[in-house]
Amino acid sequence: MAAGPLGEARAAAGATVETFALLEQAVQQAASIRFVAVLPEVLRALAEGYLLASRLAEARHSAERVLQLSRAQGQRHVEADALRILGDVYARANPDEAGQAEAWYREALGVAEQIGTPPLAARCHLGLGVLFRATGQLESAQHHLATAATMFLDMDMRSWLEKAQAEMDEGSR
């Protein structure tokens, strides 16, 4: 159970071969012992790790598996994060897929707001802001980035606040 969060933290600090080996082993172990309650969360950590390492095809594949499993098990918080990861993947993969990225982000935001997970909602706003800035929708970008920054400030999530502020600064150049 600890391998997922540990692997995700290692990926955030700088993905390594050992990080992915740890996460992939955790997924295999959870699947082999049929620890179905933990499998979506461990897979979500793997998808996030792949995303952080810009291994987008693997992140998409893992997030799609997470989405399927979390929906089958009614794990709404994991479902919402899988949707957000898919938004991030599509936003980074190809500018032509901006509409799909927006749809994933909006679906994730809807679930996050419904179940009351403000940190995830703020990350969705951040993703939408970055996406809209990249596609030239500057007013929408500014709205979502400001919303994300305010939410991160209110929750005292400083590293995420810094990211939102950096994106806002980038948009004003």
Q: Mind giving me the DSSP string for 37-91?
A: TTHHHHHHHHHHHHHHTT-HHHHHHHHHHHHHHHHHHT-HHHHHHHHHHHHHHHH
Asked if 64 contacts 40 with a C-beta cutoff of 8 angstroms, the reply is: no
For the cut 60, the answer to whether the pLDDT of residue 4 exceeds it is no
pLDDT exceeds 90 at position 135: yes
Q: Is the pLDDT of residue 134 over 80?
A: yes
Q: Are 81 and 40 in contact (CB under 8 A)?
A: no
Is pLDDT at 146 greater than 90 in this prediction?
Answer: yes
**Residue 43: per-residue pLDDT:** 86
Q: Of 163, 149, 58, 74, nearest to 115 (Cα)?
A: 74
CA angle 162-164-170, nearest 5°?
100
3-state secondary structure of 143: helix
pLDDT of residue 164: 96
Q: What is the mean pLDDT of residues 67-90?
A: 95
| Cα gap 124→87, rounded to integer Å | 8
Instruction: Indicate if the pLDDT at residue 171 is higher than 60.
Output: yes
Q: Is the pLDDT reported for residue 82 higher than 70?
A: yes
Q: How far apart are the first and last CA of the chain?
A: 44
Provide mean pLDDT across the span 118-144.
96
CA distance 152 to 3: 27
* Closest alpha carbon to 84 in 101, 62, 65, 61: 101
For domain 1-116, which CATH number applies: 1.25.40.10, 3.40.50.150, 1.10.1760.20, 3.40.50.2300?
1.25.40.10
Q: Of the ranges 29-33, 101-105, 115-119, 147-151, which one carries the lowest mean pLDDT score?
A: 29-33
Instruction: Assess contact for 31 and 54: CB atoms under 8 A.
Output: no
Q: For the residues 142-160, what does the mean pLDDT come to?
A: 97
What is the predicted pLDDT for the residue at 53?
85
pLDDT reported for residue 6: 59
Confidence band, pLDDT 50/70/90 cuts, at residue 94: confident
The pTM of this model reads: 0.84
CA dist 104 and 102 (Å) reads 5
Q: Which residues contact 64 (CB under 8 A, 6 or more apart)?
A: 82, 86
d(C-alpha 160, C-alpha 54), whole Å: 19
pLDDT digits (tens, 9 = 90+) for 23-41: 676 666 666 555 556 778 8
More confident residue, 42 or 101: 101
Provide the residue ranges of all domains of the chain, joining segments of one domain with +.
1-116, 118-173
